[in-house]
Amino acid sequence: MTSAFDPAYGEAWNQGQCLGILSLPDTWLTFAQVEEVAVGFALNRFLVEEAELLLLAVAPEQRRQGVARALIERTAADAERRGARRLLLEVRADNEAIDLYRQAQFAEIGRRRDYYRGPSGLRDAITLARPLG
């Protein structure tokens, strides 16, 4: 968490926030491992007919090898198994990860203006959705 997120936007969660959400029902965490070392994770939750990918991160030295793509596919399969009809996520509008999500069949369904505060001003948040099933 701490190595993956740019601290400028305050997107990383602290330990208390992580422990808090993991104690809720229908919240699950998927780790990606390379040779038994955790190199990435997806934190997800299920609610009624939807699942939400809350956080996705890969260690900087393990990027561009398909780890995030594999985590997304695993999350989509798990969400579908739980009965979700679509998978949602929210991302900063200028996050390069948007390319990754578009390739993974996510499309924009909403936008929150000026949702993130960063070093060079405010940034919109985009809500993306991928149909399941």
Ligand X SMILES: CC(C)(COP(=O)(O)OP(=O)(O)OC[C@H]1O[C@@H](n2cnc3c(N)ncnc32)[C@H](O)[C@@H]1OP(=O)(O)O)[C@@H](O)C(=O)NCCC(=O)NCCS
- Our finding on whether 83 is near ligand X (CB under 6 A) is no
Number of Cβ within a 10 Å radius of residue 128: 20
Specify the stretch interacting with ligand X by CB under 6 A; choose among 20-28, 80-88, 89-97, 113-121.
89-97
Q: Are 71 and 41 in contact (CB under 8 A)?
A: yes
Residues 6+ apart with CB under 8 A from 56: 40, 41, 42, 43, 68, 71, 72, 89, 97
φ, ψ for residue 120 (rounded to 5)? Answer: -115, 35
Q: Are 129 and 87 in contact (CB under 8 A)?
A: yes
- Our finding on whether 9 is near ligand X (CB under 6 A) is no
Residue 81 identity: R
- Our finding on whether 96 is near ligand X (CB under 6 A) is yes
Residue 108 designated active-site: no
Q: For ligand X, which residue of 43, 51, 55, 126 counts as binding (CB under 6 A)?
A: 55
Residue 101 designated active-site: yes
Q: For ligand X, which residue of 63, 93, 115, 118 counts as binding (CB under 6 A)?
A: 63
Question: Whole-number minimum distance, CB 42 to ligand X, in Å?
Answer: 9
The residue annotated as part of the active site, out of 50, 80, 90, 108, is: 90
- Our finding on whether 42 is near ligand X (CB under 6 A) is no
CB nearer to ligand X: give 29 or 133: 29
- Our finding on whether 85 is near ligand X (CB under 6 A) is no
Instruction: Give strand pairing partners of 111.
Output: 126
Catalytic residues: 90, 101
